[in-house]
Structure 1
Amino acid sequence: MSSLGDLICCVAYGLFALYFAQRLLRGRLPVSALAVVFLAALSVSSIWSGLALVDELRHWSDRLPTWLVPGLDLLRFGLWFAFMLMLLPPPRRGGGLGWMRPIAVAVVLARLALIVLGENLPVEALARAQAFASLGLAVLGLVLVEQMLRNATADARWNAKPVCLGLGAVFVFDLFIGSQAALFQHFDGDAISVRSLVHAAAVPLLYVASRRHADWLGKLHVSRAAVFHSATLLLVGAYMLVVAGVGYYVRYTGGQWGRALSVALVFVALVALTLLIASGSMRARLRVYISKNFFSYRYDYREEWLRFTQLLSGSAEPQHTAETVVRALANLVESPSGMLWLQRSAGGDFVQNARWNLPAQAVTEARDGPLATFWRERAWIVDVNEYRQHPEAYPGLELPDWLAEEPRCWLLVPLLVREALIGFVVLGRPRAVVELNWEVRDLLRTAASQASGYLDQAQATEALLEARKFDAFNRMSAFVVHDLKNIVTQLSLMMKNAKRLRDNPEFQQDMLDTVENSLEKMRQLMLQLREGDKPHGVTSGVDLEQIAKGLAAAASSKGRVLELELQPGVSTRGHAERVERVLGHVVQNAFDATPASGFVRLRLDAEGSQARVRVEDSGCGMSEDFIQNRLFKPFQTTKASGMGIGAHESYQYVQELGGKISVQSELNRGTTVTLLLPLFHAQADAPLTALDVQ
């Protein structure tokens, strides 16, 4: 089986090397150092498996030198490592994985040293060291494969996947062999016999990748997130190797308790590893260390800005906006706590508006105090630790007692909108030591500027919503006052006539009906105040003929005449009280604008699917400018004692019903108001649907 695997591996890699070489010679692929290294890796892999096959077929006394096949195996691994490392940018251009190059060289040299020592020492003496060396090569290879896939762009990932899968399979299998050898102090013969066959399985995937695109060997971009994950993976691998080594030392030197002690040690080590990985402080320290030592700049500004903006815009609840701002600024400097202070009102003092893992403060900070005055003059970010040690670095600054005495406070970041101080953020001590250099200060200052605008917009939106609520309440109050005025007018007229007609039985009955009607109207007003703008009562058919006759009777009681031309059986859909209020308002306005010698006429008929009500008068009329620009707007009227509410309310309700109201008028000639309302067919017995209710 071993010979067959070596033969297949030799042929597969050899044919692919020839195919790749002819593509380079014919100009189908660009000739570069990266392509040459890739070709060399393919060629050495073919030679390695070919010599392994030759060594197995030769007689034991005439076999090849013992170092040749392992040396070629190490050489091809080194070439694959070089190929993957060359895909990453060099350290001088901001590559964050420059530290892996010396590690790769060290691992290869350690394996080479073991091959050289193997010529003079017995196999058993170096079994454990060779196992760990093989394991180290496999772990390093997997880290580099992970980097290839993680750092490939969205367009290049389609090309990179076959390469990563092929090489990843090679290194995973070697990881299995090395782990087993480290556990049992000898290599598994069955696994070794199929190793070349498994390595040959990577050839089809490498071939597929080479056929997909001509520039599949392009450079990769390394992000900070990729470096962080790779460093974590490498550290975890090293940690597990150390634990395995210590565990087996305990196992073979601990006597009868050795096996139990090694199991306990491995379990404790795994628990400790889980705690370290889950620790936010450890992750923060690792990120700070990587950014400080492996990159030209501390921050990946694109990633930081996207994360900062996403966190700010992700606050769905307005009450959580303040805490979101604190978290967004704290994440930039690995801070686990903070608080936000904002003005209680425009021109007011600063109070604690939100806090995150810091104690509540019941005090206020004066808007003209030393802290606010300092920021209006300089707008500096204040390092509390530096202020405590060197207060002269902040001339004119005097920190309040609650801030100076709190040991967890670290930075004070002012929030300015167009040079106006709207608040400030207090950040707690970071999880890891962060150097407060120019880059950190600039990033915090820029982020604070965006957060200030975000908070200012949120406060403006909240003020606008509050103003709209007051506006809605004021509008509703104006409608109620208008209706109360009509009720008061009606009751005043009744009381005026009561002194003269109090002994008239018909007047007494009419007075009782008027009082009862006024009480019902006031009850409806109370419902409107309680329910807001929502219509109350039940939507149903409203008999317009009966309303018109009622309006004529009411006018007659006041000594006026409302002429009627009615088509019987015409009804509309709506609330009877509100429809009567609309028609009553139009008729009353006609009477107010018409002298006693003039006329007011109400015509009722049906036009298509609509009920048509026309109120005509011979009064003073209105100008075209008033009709176009002021009529139906609140607080606009031609009457000396009017409020301009009734016309607006009538117009709004007609619109709600799906109707239309139009006005034709000439000065000193009269006015005609036409209302088109949805026709209600009384013979339809079907209940109303939600679509019918406007």
Structure 2
Amino acid sequence: MGSLLYNISSVAFAISALILILFFRHHPAKFILSFSFVITALWALFASYGISRLGHYAELLRNISWIFILFYLLNPVRNWRGRDSLFWQVVLVALILFGGLFLLDIYHHQIGFGLGPDEINFSIWCYQYLLLSIFGLVLIEQLIRNSDASQLWAVKFFCIAIGAQFSYDIFLYSTALLVSGLDLLYWQARAIFTTLLIPLFFVSLKRIVHEPSKVIISRKIVFHGVALIGIGVYMLLMALIGYYIQFLGGQWSGLIQIVFFAFAVLLVSVIIFSGQMRAKLKVFLSKHFFDYKYDYREEWLRFIASLSGNKFESGLENRVIEAVAKIIDSTGGVIWLKNENERYQYAGGHNHCVLADLEEESYIEFVKQGGWVVDIDEYKNEPHNFPQLLLPQWLVDDEDLRLLVPLFHQNALFGVLALNRPRAERKFNWEDHDLLKTVGCQAAGYLALMMLSQELHESRQFEAFNRLSAYVVHDLKNVVSQLSLVIKNAEKYKNNPDFVDDAFLTVDNATKRMNRMLLQLRKDRSMVMTTNRDCIDLIECLTAVCRARQDSRPFPVLINKHSSTPCVFADGERLEIVLAHLVQNAQEATPESGKVELILQIESDKAVISVSDSGCGMAQEYMRSRLFKPFETTKGNAGMGIGAYEAKEYIHSIGGTLTVASTLGEGTVFKISVPVVRDDS
């Protein structure tokens, strides 16, 4: 049965190769795929006779041909140029391992191990198949990971078909190693499974209409790919050693094998999570696989992401140290930043602490002139390279620090970054220095922006304090005016009981205002403005305002155009202050022969209070752009410029509006509209 199935598979692949040659004459992948089909047809033919040395070599050639197709899809052969290609390195490693197993296969009679020749042949063959299958899956992973959407659409069925073959081989031969023999059912099903993959090749072949695109492999992918291959090879070697322990260990073989595998898994876990081993692997790959040490796109994206990340609890200084240190696999460092005294002050450290400031004038001048990155080891071992440089002795004696990186912002030295030694020892050249200087400039820009933000925040705090002080001074000015008026009239009316009563009322009112100002200093002003509301009789409020402003000319006149007495929800004292301020402004803008009126009327459910005068009026531009802005005044040093602003803010806080209309030379009307209290309220 198995022989028939493999013969059918052989015929199917032979026909497929013929179809490729006849009907895909101009396809770029015609020859390489037809060659693989022919090799696969030969393999199926030899496999129909069972396991043999000839069938073994045919299967090896089949696997190698599929791997060659994966290389073709990853990068055209004509573009491989020695050490520029990652794949030559990988192929070399694979050939060495495969060659070792091949030599072991040929000379098994001389090696022995106390086992029969057939058993040794079978085990070695299984390891060869597993090695090639794992290598093929790694290449498929690289192809999928590095293809864009259009490329993946074209080659994905190639990847599925070849990957399915290799995966089935891994399942088949790993199971065979565990049970020391091939399962006949799995072996027969393999022929059917392989034959059913042929349509997938033709689907991909129809999609590939152009020469396969070059796929650029990043250093990150190289690192993970080589690590994956290394782990796979390591596990194969451990499995091979464990296999022979089983036969050499006698009655203790089972225990020794378990301990060995446990130790092998522990060792590979330690290697995977070792930062030093990862750093050494990166250095090795950079030296032998690439012309340049760094993948600049990856480094730049990672650097910007680190500076713009969410680790706000660590501070920007520490994020800068960490981001720059990662470039050379350093563990951390320290940073000095220029303060307001033009001194370079210690600003933070990551995995390092130096409390001293950087005050060495020689180094500062040296860096300002050339912008050099200083290698401290080179400075100590080859001082003739730095004839004009003198580093602080405490810095030279610090064995943990290795590099000094200048941070320039707008062509000025903004700070200095000292980096710890990298995890894996390495030499630094012009490429390292250029990259560190570039990222240093970017980091300096971030740090300068941070300092500007802090200064802006501080200036806003001072602005808020000054604004609060202006409000307090404004209220104090009104209190002082009231008390001054009492003192001014005291000599004339001190024996008048009514004057004495009014004086006490004025002092009481001044005390309340002072207490209110103290409350404003302790709490948010907006909270004070919107608390202590009550139902206020507008007639009484307006009458009190007119009485308070009777000492100034022209006298304010109250006109009530509504028969009833409207009430509003407000702080009575605050509302009086607002109205009194508007009346005062009207009096100051109107000659004594003019008029100032307070007009009360009801429009729908709103009480409308108009403060009108026949004074000088205001320009439209001033009303539009400056009237209600704080600290804008036309009174010079006599005014604070917050009266109109405060009036509008308070009226808005009780649900009302404040509008103004004015004509130069004719007068001004301030109109306040606030909701009235309904009878059912």
What secondary structure, in the 3-state scheme, does the structure 2 residue paired with 1:489 have? helix
Moved more, 577-586 or 425-434: 577-586
State the partner residue of 2:635. 638
Q: Does the alignment pair 1:128 with 2:123?
A: yes
State the partner residue of 2:152. 157
Give the whole-Å Cα distance in 1 for the aligned partners of 2:534 and 2:65.
87
Shift of residue 569, structure 1, vs aligned partner: 5.1
State the partner residue of 1:690. none
Shift of residue 470, structure 1, vs aligned partner: 1.2
RMSD between aligned residues: 3.0
Gapped regions of structure 1 (runs ≥ 5) = 57-64, 686-694
Give the whole-Å Cα distance in 2 for the aligned partners of 1:348 and 1:571.
64
> Which residue of 654, 659, 664 corresponds with 2:662?
664
Aligned residues of 1:541 and 1:574 also touching (Cα < 8 A) = yes
The amino acid that maps onto 1:661 is T
> Which residue of 485, 491, 498 corresponds with 1:493?
485
What secondary structure, in the 3-state scheme, does the structure 1 residue paired with 2:330 have? coil
What secondary structure, in the 3-state scheme, does the structure 1 residue paired with 2:74 have? coil
Q: Does the alignment pair 1:2 with 2:7?
A: no
Shift of residue 603, structure 1, vs aligned partner: 1.5
> Which residue of 385, 390, 396 corresponds with 1:404?
396
Shift of residue 47, structure 1, vs aligned partner: 3.3
Aligned residues of 1:210 and 1:216 also touching (Cα < 8 A) = no
Give the whole-Å Cα distance in 2 for the aligned partners of 1:421 and 1:115.
67
Shift of residue 333, structure 1, vs aligned partner: 0.9
Give the whole-Å Cα distance in 2 for the aligned partners of 1:68 and 1:249.
26
State the partner residue of 1:599. 595
Aligned residues of 1:84 and 1:144 also touching (Cα < 8 A) = yes
State the partner residue of 2:32. 37
What secondary structure, in the 3-state scheme, does the structure 2 residue paired with 1:364 have? coil
Provide, for residues 383-441 of structure 1, a one-character-per-residue CA deviation record: whole Å limited to 9, x for no partner: 01111112232232222233222111011111111221111111100012232111111
Moved more, 133-142 or 422-431: 133-142
Provide, for residues 516-543 of structure 1, a one-character-per-residue CA deviation record: whole Å limited to 9, x for no partner: 3222222222232233443324367765
Mark the CA change 1:304 to 1:106 in structure 2 (over 3 Å): closer, same or farther: same
Aligned residues of 1:131 and 1:185 also touching (Cα < 8 A) = no
Mark the CA change 1:123 to 1:319 in structure 2 (over 3 Å): closer, same or farther: closer
> Which residue of 218, 224, 228 corresponds with 1:233?
228
Provide, for residues 82-121 of structure 1, a one-character-per-residue CA deviation record: whole Å limited to 9, x for no partner: 1112233344284323212223444565666677679999
State the partner residue of 1:268. 263
Q: Does the alignment pair 1:207 with 2:202?
A: yes
Mark the CA change 1:109 to 1:260 in structure 2 (over 3 Å): closer, same or farther: closer
Shift of residue 486, structure 1, vs aligned partner: 0.6
Aligned residues of 1:340 and 1:355 also touching (Cα < 8 A) = yes
What secondary structure, in the 3-state scheme, does the structure 1 residue paired with 2:59 have? helix
Residues 42-191 of structure 1 mapped to structure 2, 5 A cutoff: 42-53=37-48, 55=49, 66-89=52-75, 90-92=79-81, 94-106=84-96, 122-191=117-186
Give the whole-Å Cα distance in 1 for the aligned partners of 2:20 and 2:472.
89
What secondary structure, in the 3-state scheme, does the structure 1 residue paired with 2:608 have? strand
Moved more, 631-640 or 522-531: 631-640
Residues 318-333 of structure 1 mapped to structure 2, 5 A cutoff: 320-333=315-328
Mark the CA change 1:614 to 1:437 in structure 2 (over 3 Å): closer, same or farther: same
State the partner residue of 1:692. none
Give the whole-Å Cα distance in 2 for the aligned partners of 1:544 and 1:13.
102
Q: Does the alignment pair 1:314 with 2:309?
A: yes
The amino acid that maps onto 2:337 is L
Q: Does the alignment pair 1:548 with 2:542?
A: yes
State the partner residue of 2:113. none
Mark the CA change 1:306 to 1:136 in structure 2 (over 3 Å): closer, same or farther: same
State the partner residue of 2:296. 301
Moved more, 596-605 or 319-328: 596-605
Residues 334-373 of structure 1 mapped to structure 2, 5 A cutoff: 334-343=329-338, 345-359=339-353, 361-366=354-359, 369-373=361-365
Mark the CA change 1:507 to 1:91 in structure 2 (over 3 Å): closer, same or farther: farther
Give the whole-Å Cα distance in 1 for the aligned partners of 2:158 and 2:373.
49
Give the whole-Å Cα distance in 2 for the aligned partners of 1:611 and 1:196.
96
Gapped regions of structure 2 (runs ≥ 5) = 111-115
State the partner residue of 2:673. 677
Percent identity of paired positions between Structure 1 and Structure 2 = 34
User: What is the number of residues matched between the two proteins?
Assistant: 666
Residues 216-615 of structure 1 mapped to structure 2, 5 A cutoff: 217-315=212-310, 317=312, 320-343=315-338, 345-359=339-353, 361-366=354-359, 369-536=361-528, 537-538=530-531, 544-556=538-550, 561-566=555-560, 567=562, 568=564, 570=566, 576-607=572-603, 611-615=607-611
Aligned residues of 2:134 and 2:232 also touching (Cα < 8 A) = yes
Shift of residue 293, structure 1, vs aligned partner: 0.7
Give the whole-Å Cα distance in 1 for the aligned partners of 2:194 and 2:284.
37
Give the whole-Å Cα distance in 1 for the aligned partners of 2:569 and 2:192.
86
Normalised TM-score (structure 2): 0.89
Give the whole-Å Cα distance in 1 for the aligned partners of 2:256 and 2:168.
29
Give the whole-Å Cα distance in 1 for the aligned partners of 2:660 and 2:12.
89
